[in-house]
Amino acid sequence: MGRQTTRYAKPAIWLHWITAVLMLFMLFIGQGYMKVPRGASLAGWAPSTHASFGILILLLGLARQLWRLGNPPPALPQTMPRWQVVVSHATHWAFYALMVAIPVTGLLAIVPYGAERLNVEHVTFFKLFPVAFMPNLRDWAGNVHWLLFRVAKFLVIVHVLAALKHQFWDKDGLLTRMRPM
């Protein structure tokens, strides 16, 4: 068995905060970047930015999961009630699933979304390659993408509130596990 630590390793911390910033941007600002009226062009910078950040979240989410497989997180405080431990684990695994499922459903939704707009082939991943290469699976992918977006937004709010509760109410030092410095 490895030694127990009270902090995450630096790669896990940086992957967390980079992903967190990208997800916060996408959930609270970037989601509007795909709102292009029917018949309008998707050739602008906003749809490509949305797609690029989404794919980046997918790649970072996969990297986080691979890192986690070989690097277990530090133990939670012994004083934490069992129900909070269970909710914490469920929330973190839900985030790992959402970091994959939201970008994948977004990729699946771009072709049907682009069918009623012009220049879907101009939506690219940082101008390296087009992202409209998935099959047209109709509106279900967009509906699932929107539902997962709403779930992620709710979980982010709960996650932040729980972290603040631990920091300022419980004063159990839980936040120091993920502090960058």
User: By CB neighbour count within 10 A (0-12 exposed, 13-18 middle, 19+ buried), where does 94 fall?
Assistant: middle
The domains of the chain, with CATH numbers, are 10-178 (1.20.950)
Tell me which residue of 180, 177, 181 sits closest to 8, measured CA to CA: 177
Contact 6, 132 (CB under 8 A): no
Q: Is the pTM of this model over 0.75?
A: yes
Helices (H), the chain: 10-28, 45-70, 82-114, 140-165
Of 78 and 25, which is predicted with more confidence? Answer: 25
**Predicted pLDDT at 175:** 75
pLDDT at 7: 87
Kindly state the tokens that stand for 2.
């490895």
Residue-level pLDDT at 28: 92
pLDDT in tens, 134-180: 877 778 999 999 999 999 999 999 999 999 998 899 888 777 888 88
What is the pLDDT, as a whole number, of residue 4?
Answer: 56
**pLDDT per residue over 121-133, tens digit each?**
999 999 999 998 8
* Buried b or exposed e, range 7-16, using 16+ CB within 10 angstroms: ebeeebbebb
Span of 37-51, 55-69, 95-109, 163-177 with lowest mean pLDDT: 163-177
- The 10s digit of each residue's pLDDT in 5-28 is 678 899 999 999 999 999 999 999
